[in-house]
């Protein structure tokens, strides 16, 4: 692979920043560098301390650059949190020629975008659901079809402008250029879902530190997004309160000994050492006590997700069930509990479809950053293919740019 097609990604999560650098070709992407840094600059997916986030971005970036030996410039960035809203819209245009072409599709999507959006909101994505040509419904791609009247149903995703501006500011402080902003759960779903799952119907839930970000696909299209302001930090807080220990120790024992089901394989007999607060001597606690605390929170969280699926009328429509990803999905027994609560097939989603450091990024808490790489790759693919087919193109474009600059400099 040549090293001219870098794709870089930055996931700004509640508990950590993840930064990835990949090289790409028409065949796919190869992750070459990965960095992560913890921070306290985000609450429930929203930046609340630009300085702290910028510092963590810089740290994660340096790690990824050192590992890859490459320099990141343009990056794809995640945006999430419960300021995100999404809704359906509809557009209609007359087909210009005899057959529908790319220009007609772009115009009908533009027409669907023409809805009144409050001035404090910013459009993140306009995702086509399906097209209708002269009344014929359910067309996935009308390119080349004959017709007169083209209609499009789209799903529009917006976010709060001020909150998005704070994400942009945090990134720009690190002298990075933003290639695009991508909804967190859309990125995660891109990394963990197969085409079949999207087609059959599936809900992906990214259980992060501060939020559960949901996205639902039916017939290959996004039908719904939602954010529940509960995440792994709530699980750890419950452990800290329930077992009277520090936040740090609660986080540690949750990951090491925790499970979503208290009666999971013989845990009742085991005991674990728990730090006490205020420098008191550590205590020995039954592992099942830890798991009972986690069981209550797991059950409540999964039921909130189930309610959302029910309220939106998706029961019976999700042929591929539910996919849990994000660091929170690593809790032992959570997938098994999900099977029972949702009464649907549930699996854990790990990022796939990348080469290079595939083993390193194959963890549920890297779904978003890997998905950002894949999303960026899909957008940049036509340019990458064009460059591969005509390697002189970028050199000539560079020369053209230089001549244009000289011309402008001479004329002003």
Ligand X SMILES: Nc1ncnc2c1ncn2[C@@H]1O[C@H](COP(=O)(O)OP(=O)(O)OP(=O)(O)O)[C@@H](O)[C@H]1O
Which string of b and e fits 74-93 if b means at least 16 CB within 10 Å?
ebbbbbbbbbbbbeebebeb
Q: Which is nearer to ligand X, 23 or 368 (CB)?
A: 368
Residue 218 CA to residue 366 CA, distance in Å, equals 24
Q: Which stretch binds ligand X (CB under 6 A): 131-139, 160-168, 265-273, 320-328?
A: 320-328
x/- letters, 347..386, toward ligand X (CB under 6 A)? ------------------x---------------------
86 binds ligand X (CB under 6 A): no
Please report whether residue 338 would count as binding ligand X according to CB under 6 A.
no
Please tell me the distance from the alpha carbon of residue 284 to that of residue 140, in angstroms, as a whole number: 59
233 lies in the site for ligand X, by CB under 6 A: yes
In sequence order, what E strands does 229-295 have?
271-274, 283-286
- Is residue 328 a contact point for Mg ion (CB under 5 A)? no
Distance CA 24, CA 356 (A): 11
Name the residue nearer to Mg ion (CB basis): 58 or 368: 368
Residue 241 Cα distances to 208, 233, 236, 249, 250, angstroms: 20, 12, 9, 11, 9
Name the region of 397 (left: φ>0; alpha: ψ -120 to 50; beta: rest): alpha
**Per CB under 6 A, 330 contacts ligand X:** yes
Q: Are 59 and 37 in contact (CB under 8 A)?
A: yes
Site string (206-245) toward Mg ion, x via CB under 5 A: --x-------------------------------------
225 binds, among Mg ion, ligand X, none (CB under 5 to 8 A by kind): none
Work out what residue 283 binds among ligand X, Mg ion, none; the CB cut-off runs from 5 to 8 Å by kind. Answer: none
What, of ligand X, Mg ion, none, does residue 15 touch, CB below 5 to 8 Å by kind? ligand X
- From 14-22, 102-110, 171-179, 263-271, give the range in contact with ligand X by CB under 6 A: 14-22
Tell me whether residue 45 or residue 128 sits nearer to ligand X (CB atom): 45
């Amino acid at each position: 692979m040549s090293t001219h097609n870098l794709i870089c990604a930055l996931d700004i999560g509640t508990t950590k920043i993840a930064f990835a650098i990949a090289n790409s070709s028409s065949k796919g992407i190869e992750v070459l560098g990965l960095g992560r840094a913890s921070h306290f600059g985000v609450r429930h997916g929203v930046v609340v301390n630009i300085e702290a986030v910028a510092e963590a971005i810089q740290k994660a970036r340096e790690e990824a650059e050192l590992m890859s030996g490459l320099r990141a410039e343009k990056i794809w960035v995640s945006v999430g949190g419960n300021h995100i809203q999404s809704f359906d819209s509809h557009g209609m245009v007359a087909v210009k020629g005899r057959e529908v072409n790319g220009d007609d599709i772009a115009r009908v999507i533009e027409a669907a975008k023409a809805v009144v959006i409050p001035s404090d909101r910013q459009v993140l994505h306009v995702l086509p659901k399906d097209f209708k040509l002269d009344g014929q419904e359910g067309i996935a791609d009308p390119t080349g079809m004959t017709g007169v009247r083209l209609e499009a149903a789209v799903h529009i995703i917006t976010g709060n402008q001020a909150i998005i501006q704070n994400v942009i500011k945090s990134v720009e402080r690190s002298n990075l250029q933003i290639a695009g902003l991508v909804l967190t759960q859309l990125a995660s779903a891109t990394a963990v879902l197969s085409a079949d799952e999207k087609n059959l119907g599936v809900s992906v839930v990214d259980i992060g530190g501060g939020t559960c970000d949901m996205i639902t696909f039916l017939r290959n299209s996004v039908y719904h997004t939602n954010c529940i302001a509960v995440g792994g930090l709530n699980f750890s807080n419950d452990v800290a309160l329930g077992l009277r220990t520090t936040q740090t120790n609660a986080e540690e024992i949750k990951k090491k000994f925790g499970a979503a089901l208290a009666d999971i394989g013989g845990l009742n007999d085991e005991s674990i050492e728990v730090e006490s607060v205020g420098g008191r001597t550590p205590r020995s606690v039954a592992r099942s006590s830890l798991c009972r605390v986690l069981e209550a929170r797991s059950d409540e969280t999964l039921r909130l997700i189930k309610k959302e699926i029910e309220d939106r009328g998706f029961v019976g429509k999700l042929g591929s069930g539910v996919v849990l990803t994000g660091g929170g999905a690593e809790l032992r027994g959570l997938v098994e509990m999900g099977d029972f609560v949702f009464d649907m097939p549930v699996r854990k989603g790990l990022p796939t479809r990348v080469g290079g450091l595939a083993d390193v990024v194959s963890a549920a808490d890297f779904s978003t950053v890997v998905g950002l790489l894949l999303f960026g790759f899909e957008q940049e693919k036509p340019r990458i293919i064009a460059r591969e087919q005509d390697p002189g193109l970028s050199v000539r474009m560079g020369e053209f740019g230089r001549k244009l600059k000289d011309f402008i400099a001479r004329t002003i």
